[in-house]
């Protein structure tokens, strides 16, 4: 419409101009010139209209695409915000759950410690009633007042899944727990130590390879081939004949 209006205005202008010039220009030439001008103006106007129309269509397409992109971005941002909110909510729930779990674990740990303490007290009482004593090295010990030789004492301990006391002898703290407080004071007792297999090579019944030098009384061992087994009376050990009869102490794992 705008292009057509421009054309109409131009045509009126051209007509008026033609009328004013008709007084001086011959009629035939004036009409031909007017027609040429009219066609020229029409061509120019049409071309401009087409260009403007195409440009407007391109701009409209761009605006439509930008609108679609804006809508897509808005939707994406909205979805992202929803997802972020959901994640925050889940994290909060997880944090609360972990806090509750920590509390339950702490309560459970305290209950377990209390139960273990009570169980230890009961076991120690049970050991005491049955004659076994639980030392600080977590091994248990029992004395036997029967007077027997070394081989018999060793066999009786093994029948109970134990051994003649050896680990506790090498630990001074445990040795002082076993003797004299609970078992033997001023009396000999077989311990798990002998050189029966090879003279001068003293072997512990628990398989320990520690040196025996620290456990002997002064000038011991001194019996040679006649005295191949060890007894203890505080503060240290003696070697005596294995055929002699003494009391003994058994030692076993706490299990």
Roughly how many angstroms between the first and final C-alpha of the chain, as a whole number?
Answer: 107
Separation in Å, CA 131 to CA 123, 141, 152, 220, 250: 12, 8, 19, 31, 11
pLDDT digits (tens, 9 = 90+) for 42-90: 777 777 878 877 878 888 878 778 777 877 777 777 777 778 787 888 8
What sign has the CA pseudo-torsion 150, 240, 144, 126?
negative
Please list the residues that pair with 190 across neighbouring strands: 231, 248
Residues 40, 83 contacting (CB under 8 angstroms) = no
**Which residues contact residue 166 at a Cβ distance below 8 angstroms, ignoring those fewer than 6 apart?**
191, 192, 193, 204, 205, 206, 208, 251
pLDDT digits (tens, 9 = 90+) for 199-233: 999 999 999 989 999 999 999 999 889 999 999 98
* C-alpha–C-alpha distance, residues 62 and 213, integer Å: 100
Lowest mean pLDDT segment, chosen from 7-21, 51-65, 71-85, 117-131 = 7-21
Provide the pLDDT confidence category of residue 136 given band limits of 50, 70 and 90. Answer: very high
Give yes or no for residue 18 having a pLDDT over 50.
no
What is the percent of the chain where pLDDT is above 90? 36
């Amino acid at each position: 419409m705008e292009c057509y209006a421009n054309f109409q205005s131009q045509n009126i202008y051209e007509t008026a101009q033609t009328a004013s010039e008709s007084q001086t220009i011959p009629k035939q030439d004036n009409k031909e010139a007017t027609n040429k001008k009219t066609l020229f103006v029409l061509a120019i106007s049409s071309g401009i209209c087409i260009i403007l129309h195409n440009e407007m269509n391109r701009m409209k397409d761009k605006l439509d695409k930008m609108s679609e992109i804006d809508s897509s971005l808005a939707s994406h941002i909205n979805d992202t915000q929803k997802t972020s909110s959901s994640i925050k909510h889940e994290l909060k729930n997880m944090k609360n759950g972990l806090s509750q779990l920590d509390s339950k674990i702490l309560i459970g740990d305290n209950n377990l410690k209390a139960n273990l303490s009570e169980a230890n007290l009961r076991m120690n009482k049970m050991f005491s009633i049955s004659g076994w004593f639980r030392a600080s090295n977590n091994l248990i010990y029992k004395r036997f007042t029967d007077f027997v030789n070394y081989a018999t004492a060793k066999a009786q301990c093994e029948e109970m899944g134990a051994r003649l006391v050896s680990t506790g002898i090498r630990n001074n703290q445990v040795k002082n727990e076993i003797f004299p407080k609970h078992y033997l004071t001023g009396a000999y007792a077989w311990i798990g130590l002998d050189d029966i297999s090879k003279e001068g090579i003293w072997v512990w019944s628990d398989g320990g390879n520690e040196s025996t030098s620290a456990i002997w009384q002064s000038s011991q061992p001194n019996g040679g081939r006649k005295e191949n087994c060890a007894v203890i009376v505080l503060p240290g050990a003696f070697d005596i004949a294995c055929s002699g009869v003494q009391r003994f102490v058994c030692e076993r794992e706490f299990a």
